[in-house]
A and B are shown apart, each in its own frame.
Chain A
């Protein structure tokens, strides 16, 4: 292996993109903040695995999977509209679209809901993509679709009422052969990632709204779609770029979901990290009405430059550092 950093072409573009992102928020009066990368607690969401470190006192510490918890503590403290461009870490995630360490742009807007914030996310992508003549721009028309409608239209499957067997049958029809057993959300994830997303129009932005409540994470229940959460995702072509919520502010629902996450982790045989107690306290103190979103900066850069392998936009991808 060579000592040479691996992404000379992307280097200048990354610097330019970071500057453009900061300018976007400066113009809109959103405050840049910094929060710790190393923390005593970790999220319990079974879909996200934290890297564990050993602190000097011998106790566990975790590398952040996103700056969500400390940023929400800032919000609860009255910080107002805030954003952060930071490095985050996710265990065992490595592939052509994953690097265990990556750059995440996360921001929160007071008095926004998921719809309004999704508009700002797509504005950001269009605005930034137009800045450099070397960058690829997404097609001007967006597609906005509800999660359930996407499954109904493309698979003739209702994700809000179907069972595991219906998903398995749909997968079989689509030629997706999964070894072993999946739970319902596992099936929906498999269909989304390997059947639906690959069919999104290349070059087009797709925003998916109203995820099933079982995949709510920290989104509040949807006022529009029963059984759904106010969660959205942005795709550019078949590449997932961002995930956002109209933020859950009810501490009782938060705690109920947290307990479910612990149960699911137990069932899956996953380790159960230390919960972030200070974040839980902040939820009780009261989160202002806000929406928040996290966008993968390396993936945005991949799309702007037309790269299909994340290692092509990272000078030091995992394995080279």
Chain B
């Protein structure tokens, strides 16, 4: 069982806390001149996304979380599970809605995502930063309205709804930034 001492704390370190894998977001060393030393950390729960503060006595050890990021290809969904494959080994993983969260709306078959595994089980998935998706539904754009810089909602093939400029038409493919959920360009 691997563990980390507080002196190894730094942002990005994955530790096991309250039974959940958590990543250190911020680590601060606090010590009165003549007193007890502490490490005050902000951690993000990798399962729930919750951020909280925790204080450790300096010198204590905390169990490491066996968390690993792996690139996987998204294969398909059967409605209940989303299936992924490690391209090199053909190893497959199935993930439920809870682990996917908002990522599901960006997943297109064949795209390569970063899947976070905890003790070999999928914990979360990070879609590519940019995806190219076809518009399956949007209202026709009105000419002349472009001066306003107006936008309209468009439904993409994966079900995501993004705001697109008025000149973009149904059936076109657009590039979207999945981190912000914003339209980037036509493809």
A binds B: yes
Task: Name the distance in Å between A23's Cβ and chain B's nearest Cβ.
Answer: 26
A96 close to chain B: CB less than 8 A: yes
Which residues does chain A contribute within 8 Å of B54, judged by CB atoms?
177-179
Question: Interface segment, B23-31, B117-125, B146-154, B174-182?
Answer: B23-31
Docked-complex contact A193 and B32, CB < 8 angstroms: yes
Q: Mark B28-60, 1 if CB is under 8 A from A, else 0.
A: 111111111110100000000000111111111
- Give the A interface residue count (CB, 8 A): 31
Across the two chains, which residue of chain A brings its CB closest to B27? Answer: A95
Docked-complex contact B32 and A240, CB < 8 angstroms: yes
Across the two chains, which residue of chain B brings its CB closest to A268? Answer: B59
Task: Name the distance in Å between B37's Cβ and chain A's nearest Cβ.
Answer: 7
A127 close to chain B: CB less than 8 A: no
A48 CA / B58 CA spacing, docked (Å)? 13
Contact of A193 among B30, B52, B56, B59 (CB under 8 A): B30
A243 close to chain B: CB less than 8 A: yes
Which residues does chain B contribute within 8 Å of A193, judged by CB atoms?
30-32, 35, 38
Contact of B32 among A177, A178, A180, A189 (CB under 8 A): A189
B7 close to chain A: CB less than 8 A: yes
A-B contact count (CB 8 A): 81
A124 close to chain B: CB less than 8 A: no
Docked-complex contact A185 and B30, CB < 8 angstroms: no
Task: Name the distance in Å between B35's Cβ and chain A's nearest Cβ.
Answer: 4
Docked-complex contact A45 and B37, CB < 8 angstroms: no
Task: Name the distance in Å between A159's Cβ and chain B's nearest Cβ.
Answer: 13
- Give the B interface residue count (CB, 8 A): 24
Docked-complex contact B52 and A189, CB < 8 angstroms: no
Which residues does chain A contribute within 8 Å of B17, judged by CB atoms?
179
A314 CA / B85 CA spacing, docked (Å)? 50
Docked-complex contact B33 and A240, CB < 8 angstroms: yes
Given A179-B54, A180-B56, A190 contacting B31 (CB threshold 8 A): no
A92 CA / B35 CA spacing, docked (Å)? 13
Which residues does chain A contribute within 8 Å of B35, judged by CB atoms?
47, 185-186, 188-189, 192-193, 215
A114 close to chain B: CB less than 8 A: no
A305 CA / B36 CA spacing, docked (Å)? 28
Given A176-B55, A179-B54, A182-B57, A233 contacting B38 (CB threshold 8 A): no
Docked-complex contact A194 and B60, CB < 8 angstroms: no
Docked-complex contact B29 and A93, CB < 8 angstroms: yes
Docked-complex contact B57 and A48, CB < 8 angstroms: no
Between B53, B57, B58, B60, the greatest number of chain A beta carbons within 10 A of the residue's beta carbon is seen for B57
Docked-complex contact A194 and B34, CB < 8 angstroms: no
A153 CA / B137 CA spacing, docked (Å)? 63
Across the two chains, which residue of chain B brings its CB closest to A270? Answer: B59
Q: Mark A196-225, 1 if CB is under 8 A from B, else 0.
A: 000000000000000000010100000000
Give 18 new A-B contacts, CB below 8 A, not counting A177-B54, A243-B34.
A47-B37, A92-B37, A95-B28, A95-B30, A96-B28, A96-B29, A175-B53, A178-B55, A179-B54, A179-B55, A179-B62, A182-B36, A188-B35, A190-B38, A194-B55, A215-B35, A240-B33, A243-B33
Which residues of B come within 8 Å of A, CB atoms?
A: 7, 17, 28-38, 40, 52-60, 62
Task: Write 27 A-B pairs (CB below 8 A) sorted by A numbering.
Answer: A45-B34, A47-B32, A47-B35, A48-B34, A92-B37, A92-B58, A92-B59, A95-B29, A95-B31, A96-B29, A98-B29, A176-B55, A178-B38, A178-B55, A179-B17, A179-B56, A180-B60, A182-B36, A182-B57, A186-B35, A189-B35, A190-B36, A192-B32, A192-B35, A193-B31, A240-B33, A243-B34
